[in-house]
Amino acid sequence: MLSRHPERCKYPHGHTRTVEVVVSGKHLDANGMLLDFKALKLAVQEYIERYDHALAVNSEDPLLPALLANYPSDAVIVFEGTEPTTEVIAKDIYDHVASILANGFASGPYKIDASSVQLERIRVWETPSSWAEYGT
């Protein structure tokens, strides 16, 4: 919901989003990989999936109190003082993934060594033909 939008985007609506994560590095591991994509997926999946079936709302949206009163807390993602545009969502995901890559991740046999790869950019597709990108 984009509360400042002059048309229909100010109302609840959905998108079929796809998130692209682009990483780079200078060394491949013993398996010939820069990063095991399964490890990356495990590290970021829960954070990205929180957007599925949730309303992204500006904290200043006058409808926010009613939304919070009528929906479960995990169904409303509040963006502090900013509209939840695709660009803002791309930055939000970028910041989260960058933190994981800087600090490392481990889950069973899957791991990402701290600072072993760099996050280049996050691209969030809003529709099959429109996207926003945030990165270095």
Listed by start position, the domains of the chain span 8-135
Percent of the chain with pLDDT over 90: 82
Look at the block and give the residue holding tokens 């692209």.
20
What is the percent of the chain with per-residue pLDDT over 70, rounded to a whole number?
100
Q: Is the pLDDT of residue 51 over 90?
A: yes
What separation in angstroms does the CA of 14 have from each of 2, 25, 94, 127?
Answer: 12, 35, 21, 10
pLDDT-derived band at 136 (thresholds 50, 70, 90) equals confident
Architecture of domain 8-135: 2-Layer Sandwich (3.30)
CB 77 within 8 A of CB 51: yes
Cβ–Cβ under 8 Å, residues 118 and 112: no
HEC readout, 40-58: HHHHHHHHHHCCCCCEEEE
What the block records as the tokens of 69 is 């009163």
Predicted TM-score (pTM) of this structure? 0.91
